Amino acid sequence: MSVIGTNYLGATHAAGMAEFGHHVIGVDIDADRVKTLNAGESHIFEVGLEPLLAKHTATGRLRFTTDYTEIADWADVHFLALGTPSGPGGAADLSQLHAAIDRLAPLLHEPCLVVGKSTVPVGTALALEERIRRLAPAGDAVEVAWNPEFLREAYAVEDTLRPDRLVFGTHSAHALEVLHEIYSIPLSDRTPLVECDIATAELIKVAANAFLATKISFINAMSQMCQAAGGDVTLLADAIGFDKRIGREFLNAGLGFGGGCLPKDIKALAFRAEELGVTVLSDFIRSVEAINDGQRIELAELAIAQASGDVSGKRIAVLGAAFKPGTDDTRNSPALTVADRLHESGADVRIYDPQARLPPREGFTQVASVEQALLGADIVLHLTEWPEFRQLDPERLGQLVKKKVIIDGRLKLQAASWRNAGWKVVQIGRAGSL
């Protein structure tokens, strides 16, 4: 089989498929990335990925190429694992998918199955199938199925090898059979399986991400309520989370959601819902989005308020740049939005992250340690909750800063121990901290 696209999703999927015993060729137009992957190394920080790549490039079950002719008639299944970033107005930009199809399809002489894993607006798969059949010498013998991916960055390998559930969106018995064969290992482990039509499969994925985003925005709206009324959002989340129908996961209040998936997927869902006239959904999603955007603004405003309304010339230490812990991914990172805003307001921002390496960017300096970030700081912001930040020693760090003020944007620090060391700790949605 081939896996087209080798970023977080594609590289992990290719390695996971090799672990399931399949022979896999990953394809990417980025020659440097292909070279790295062929050396059994990972171009991204993802726990467990590199050992799997090393193992299967060595077993010979996995290799990577830039050349579509190598995969065209060799593989009978082609997985599409390309990015679908936000385009104009929030619509999903499908250009990477279209470009891959336009490269692959004219080379397809034999019957095969093209399986989409990318997150796409409902209706995309069938349009792609039409496009492929028009371009491929094999014509209608090429079929499309949709098998959305639910992996989380930082747990991508685990989620690929032991998924919560599988979704097979097909329109033929043959395609269904092929997917059953491919996933025989997790299926024999009783992984729940939903077999459905292709449109439902496309929608399941965006609905899952929209629901997760909704949980986060709900708890963040409640955190505003706690702030206004003098309550504690963490205790509130614990208490409602004990109700099994609600569950505690994805009820961590703070800076809100970022990354390469949730923000762009809900935008694309709202856009598609509007196109189809389902404004009840687009309005709902847009308020989820507005709450999320508001948290970033609120956090930056809190920092500005701590500097008596003016951060210009103030030194601000930012702990965390990745959109969440466990990854080096900074796409749509809430931490960077806040850092940018403070820089624009004139602050001297120093940022530290254990994994994320930022390209040189105007305005703030990335430093190599927490200590370097904090030296002489007027305000410290905790914006990505890496576990190592919970182990920091507030006593020792207190000697480095100019002012002992920390804003915990993720509500994960032990506020009491920081306060005991003389720090002012500000946490959105926790009474007594403002």
Residues that bind ligand UGA (CB under 6 A): 119, 149-153, 209, 212, 216, 250-252, 254, 256-259, 261-262, 265, 323-324
Q: Which is nearer to ligand UGA, 105 or 288 (CB)?
A: 288
Q: Which is nearer to ligand UGA, 98 or 152 (CB)?
A: 152
- Residue 386 has a CB neighbour count (10 Å cut-off) of 21
What's the residue count for the chain?
A: 434
Residue 94's SS3 state is: coil
Q: Which is nearer to ligand UGA, 75 or 356 (CB)?
A: 356
- Residue 148 has a CB neighbour count (10 Å cut-off) of 21
- For residues 311 and 379, what is the distance between their CA atoms, to the nearest angstrom? 10
- For residues 246 and 204, what is the distance between their CA atoms, to the nearest angstrom? 19
Q: What does the DSSP 8-state code read for residue 86?
A: B
Catalytic residue among 112, 196, 226, 261: 261
Q: 79 has which bridge partners?
A: 3, 115
Strands (E), 24-61: 24-27
Least CB distance from residue 8 to ligand UGA, whole Å? Answer: 8
Q: Which is nearer to ligand UGA, 22 or 117 (CB)?
A: 117
Supply the DSSP string of 369-425, one letter for each residue: SHHHHHTT-SEEEE-S--HHHHT--HHHHHTT-SS-EEEETTS-S-HHHHHHTT-EE
Least CB distance from residue 261 to ligand UGA, whole Å? Answer: 3
Least CB distance from residue 179 to ligand UGA, whole Å? Answer: 18
Q: What does the DSSP 8-state code read for residue 88?
A: G
Least CB distance from residue 74 to ligand UGA, whole Å? Answer: 28
| 8 A C-beta contact, residue 369 and residue 347 | no
Least CB distance from residue 380 to ligand UGA, whole Å? Answer: 19
Question: What are 368's two structure tokens?
Answer: 């190599």
State yes or no: is 261 an active-site residue: yes
Q: Which is nearer to ligand UGA, 108 or 204 (CB)?
A: 204
Which residues are annotated as catalytic? 261
